[in-house]
Amino acid sequence: MNLIIFEPNCGETSKAARVFKVLSVETRVRMIVLLKRRSLCVNALAKTLNITPAAVSQHLRVLRDAGLVIADKQGYFVHYRVNEETLADWSQTAKRILEQNK
């Protein structure tokens, strides 16, 4: 029996590791779920998640650096929303890694 093994390239495995690292923190996953529903400011996220605004800001920095959330300035406040394009890309990356050699 010949077994064909798919070897993902280094770039793909590196990208997948980054995706899983960013999503390895429960609070960030909860933030993404909330931000998929509607855009929210730091204080609204903090109140909903029952954490400090400073903690929210730190998580948002990681999510922004990864391109997963987009900041929109609205008056005095910055509202954050999910970058749907990045989310779809990450979903495909995770799917390829998790379903390979099935």
Beta strands 40-41; 77-82: pairing state: antiparallel
pLDDT of the residue at 17:
82
Residue 26 to residues 6, 21, 50, 78: CA-CA distances in angstroms? Answer: 31, 11, 13, 23
**How is the beta sheet containing 69-74 ordered, strand by strand?**
40-41, 77-82, 69-74
Per-residue pLDDT of 58-87, as tens digits, reads 999 999 999 999 999 989 999 999 999 999
Domain architecture of the chain: domains with CATH: 10-99 (1.10.10.10)
| pTM of the entire predicted model | 0.80
Which residue carries 């909860």 as its tokens?
30
Question: Which residues, 6 or more positions from 12, have their beta carbon under 8 angstroms from its beta carbon?
Answer: 93, 96, 97
